[in-house]
Structure 1
Amino acid sequence: MPINGRYYDWEHITIQVNGATLADVLSIDYEDSEKVNPIYGKGRTPRGYTKGNWEGSGKLTLLREEYERLGDPFSMKPFDIVVSYAKEGNTSTDTLKDCLFTKRSFGGVEQDTERITVELEFVILGGIERS
């Protein structure tokens, strides 16, 4: 099987929070969903649908040092998180608009651990823009 090209890897990803590039990020996950309500009439199958609310959320896992540089996550005003995927001259960007941190979890605080991490959960209030 021939190798057609290099896929995205961690080296290709840049993450910015509130305009600042984060260096000590271990992972970022984000998702959105929109509720769809089937409308029934005569018969067993839906005759149409309505749409409900849109929701977006995510989770950012950082080393403790990067967390310290962010300051108090709960006192921040709504901010954008920009995730850029750059490879071979092409850049794809997801902008998570108007985010707020909602929960923080501390991990890796034990003897012989290689790193101390902080996980920050966030809500996306303004949508996800792709470019």
Structure 2
Amino acid sequence: MPINGRYYDWEHISIQVKGVPLADVLSIDYEDSEKVNAIFGKGRTPRGYTKGNWEGSGKLTLLREEYDRLRAVAPEGNVFKLEPFDIVVSYDKGTATVTDTLKDCLFTKRSFGGVEQDTEKVTVELEFTVLGGVEHS
């Protein structure tokens, strides 16, 4: 429910990786899914279902300076060598904080962008997989 008509905006969101707050984050996207398998018998419609594997993934886009700070805490400066870590995304408007904790994440891909003349910012996208689930509190 909005407070005085104000909904969440970027000012209300804070992001931590390995317990360290990130300041120069441009965006974070994350999702999870669970496979459902339809079971067919006689007829054209499913008679039931089974559940398959759960999957979670996401993408963190940050400025190159923030990426360099993250590399500084990674073994050998390589974000792919980090042990599984939590990403905590908090939404806070001053009344109650809502938190999504992405458990046991690992970076799986990195992309560098904005490296050209007259670019206002140099960015790094880090894709990650979520191994331990998503907790909401």
Name the TM tier (shorter chain): over 0.9
Q: Equivalents in 2 of 1:113, 1:106: separation in Å?
A: 13
1: CA distance, partners of 2:53 / 2:66: 33
For residues 136 and 114 of structure 2, the distance between their equivalents in structure 1, rounded to whole angstroms, comes to 34
1:122 is matched with which residue?
128
1:79-98 matches, cutoff 5 A: 79-98=85-104
Structure 1: unaligned runs, 5 residues or longer: none
Matched, 1:103 2:112: no
CA deviations 1:16-36 (Å, max 9, x no partner) are 000000000000000000000
TM-score normalised over the length of structure 2:
0.92
Aligned to 1:16: 16
Query: Aligned match of 1:77 in 71, 80, 83?
Result: 83
SS at match of 1:106: strand
Superposition RMSD in Å:
1.1
Residue identity in the other structure for 1:104:
R
Q: In terms of mean alpha carbon deviation, does 43-52 or 3-12 score higher?
A: 3-12
The one-letter amino acid paired with 2:10 is W
Moved over 3 A (4+): none
Residues 37 and 65 of structure 1: is their aligned pair in 2 closer, same or farther, counting only changes over 3 Å?
same
One-letter amino acid of the structure 2 residue matched with residue 29 of structure 1: D
Stretches of structure 2 lacking an aligned partner (at least 5 in a row) = 72-77
**TM-score (normalised: structure 1):** 0.96
User: C-alpha distance in 1, partners of 2:35/2:14?
Assistant: 31
Matches within 5 A, 1:7-46: 7-46=7-46
Q: What is the deviation of 1:75?
A: 1.1
User: 2:46 is paired with a residue of what secondary structure?
Assistant: coil
